[in-house]
Amino acid sequence: MEIVRCLILGSGPAGYTAAIYAGRAGLNPVLYEGLQPGGQLTTTTEIENFPGYPDGVDANAMMDDMRRQALRFGVEIRPLMAVKAELGQRPFVITLDDGSQVGCWALIIATGASARYLGLPDEERLRGAGVSACATCDGFFYRKKTVAVVGGGDTACEEATYLAGLASKVYMIVRKPFLRASKAMQERVMANPKITILFETNVLSLLGKEGVEGAHLVRKKGTPEESTMDIAIDGFFLAIGHDPNSRLFKPWVETDESGYIVTQGISSCTNVEGVFAAGDVADPQYRQAITAAASGCKAAIDAERYLAANGK
Ligand code: NDP
């Protein structure tokens, strides 16, 4: 079995930044790209809030730049996905989806999180054409337009409030007769004249061929008062939660109740010495490209110090 000093799982901003730093530090890192090369950003279009790009940058182009920057420092980038992790031994052993195995002395987990979608065929069809799971990323494109946010938790309230600062009207589509969000967040959305909350409402389908033009909704489904209605919208935002991609590591690595990997203090260290976590898989709070990149940098520095201290 091949044994590498530093193995990085994930190819979003966290994984690539870790790779750039680890490569420059001479750790000869190997990075596995995983299921979605380039990570979640590749599902959005333009990035306007990553410092250094005053005119914005195409998300795929930016991820490609990060990839090339990693290659420049000798990082070996491989297209496979990890399907099994054995972290109770040294070196750690990772099994890939082609059945091969690789050992490593230091492991950086940067496997990200996946936004939850409702599972409608239209979401897939119109993803990137009006369907988004990130208001901070894409809200700006809906200035003075009408948008809908699905969900009734803190994320949905936060996104609706953010979008109300840009759009002319925001619908919140909430399946229950109440919001799950904290009281303060509830009060904020209730008090915002631009936000209309549609309680006990579910989405049946989205309207529009090239881009989102509306949503077909059902209210009080399964009751005698059940009715359907259409709303005209330009953007459709999902805020029904994210799932961190931490399942493989759970037998060893401590996670919180939502599955996010717990890191120690301001470091990227997990409870397993030699295993570091960076990016959305360990971040229930910020989930931004720039915060992911910063944590990837920390993980590489932590890995470098760990390897040096252990003579590996
Ligand atoms: P939550 O799980 O809290 O809320 C998810 C929301 O989406 C709920 O209203 C849920 O409805 C709804 N939902 C889930 N699945 C579906 C579906 N298939 N169809 C329609 N609606 C659906 O997730 P959040 O992302 O909002 O928050 C995650 C955690 O992060 C929470 O602990 C939250 O408090 C925290 N957070 C804190 C913030 C802050 O303090 N500023 C900001 C953002 C998040 P239902 O209620 O019916 O289950």
pLDDT in tens, 149-177: 999 998 899 999 999 999 999 999 999 99
End-to-end CA distance of the chain: 17
What does the pLDDT read at residue 88? 97
- Mean pLDDT over all residues of the chain? 96
What does the pLDDT read at residue 41? 86
Which residue in this structure is represented by tokens 């401590």?
A: 254
What does the pLDDT read at residue 134? 87
pLDDT above 70 covers what percent of the chain?
A: 99
> What architecture is domain 121-238?
3-Layer(bba) Sandwich (3.50)
For residue 172, list its beta bridge partners.
149, 197
CA-CA distance, 274 to 5, in Å (whole number)?
11
Q: Which of 285, 272, 279 is nearest to 299 (CA)?
A: 279
What does the pLDDT read at residue 173? 98
> Phi and psi at residue 154, in whole multiples of 5°?
-60, -40
- Cα dihedral sign, 204-207-212-214: negative
**Residue nearest ligand 1's atom 17 by CA:** 118
Is the predicted pLDDT of residue 45 greater than 80, yes or no? Answer: no
What does the pLDDT read at residue 137? 81
- Answer yes or no: same fold for 2-115+242-309 and 121-238: yes
179 Cα–ligand 1 center, Å = 9
What does the pLDDT read at residue 274? 98
Contact of 111 with 10, CB cutoff 8 Å: yes
Task: Measure Cα distances from 224 to 91, 103, 221, 229 in Å.
Answer: 62, 60, 8, 16
Rounded to 5°, angle at Cα 174 from 291 and 200: 170
pLDDT in tens, 94-152: 999 999 999 999 999 999 998 899 999 999 999 989 999 988 888 999 999 999 999 99
**Which atom of ligand 1 is found nearest the CA of 157?**
26
> Phi and psi at residue 113, in whole multiples of 5°?
-135, 155
**Which atom of ligand 1 is found nearest the CA of 118?**
18
The answer to whether the pTM exceeds 0.95 is no
138 counts as catalytic: yes
243 counts as catalytic: no
**Residue nearest ligand 1's atom 38 by CA:** 154
What does the pLDDT read at residue 97? 96
Catalytic one of 6, 104, 134, 297 = 134
88 Cα–ligand 1 center, Å = 34
State both tokens at 251: 């037998």
Is the predicted pLDDT of residue 253 greater than 80, yes or no? Answer: yes
269 counts as catalytic: no
For residue 196, list its beta bridge partners.
171
201-207/131-132 β-pairing: unpaired
Is the predicted pLDDT of residue 43 greater than 90, yes or no? Answer: no
What does the pLDDT read at residue 104? 98
Residue type, 289: A
Q: Which of 45-59, 70-84, 129-143 holds the top average pLDDT? A: 70-84
Mean pLDDT on 212-219:
98
User: In the chain, where are the structural domains located?
Assistant: 2-115+242-309, 121-238
Mean pLDDT on 39-57:
87
What does the pLDDT read at residue 279? 98
What does the pLDDT read at residue 223? 96
pLDDT band at 205; cut points 50, 70, 90: very high
Which one is the CATH code of 2-115+242-309: 3.40.718.10, 3.30.360.10, 3.50.50.60, 3.30.1540.20? 3.50.50.60
What does the pLDDT read at residue 208? 97
For residue 131, list its beta bridge partners.
127, 236
Using a 6 Å CB cutoff, which residues line ligand 1? 118, 150-156, 158, 175-176, 180, 240-241, 284
What does the pLDDT read at residue 46? 79
What does the pLDDT read at residue 176? 97
Catalytic one of 137, 157, 269, 297 = 137
Q: Which of 114, 171, 121 is nearest to 142 (CA)?
A: 171
pLDDT above 90 covers what percent of the chain?
A: 90
Residue type, 110: A
pLDDT band at 47; cut points 50, 70, 90: confident
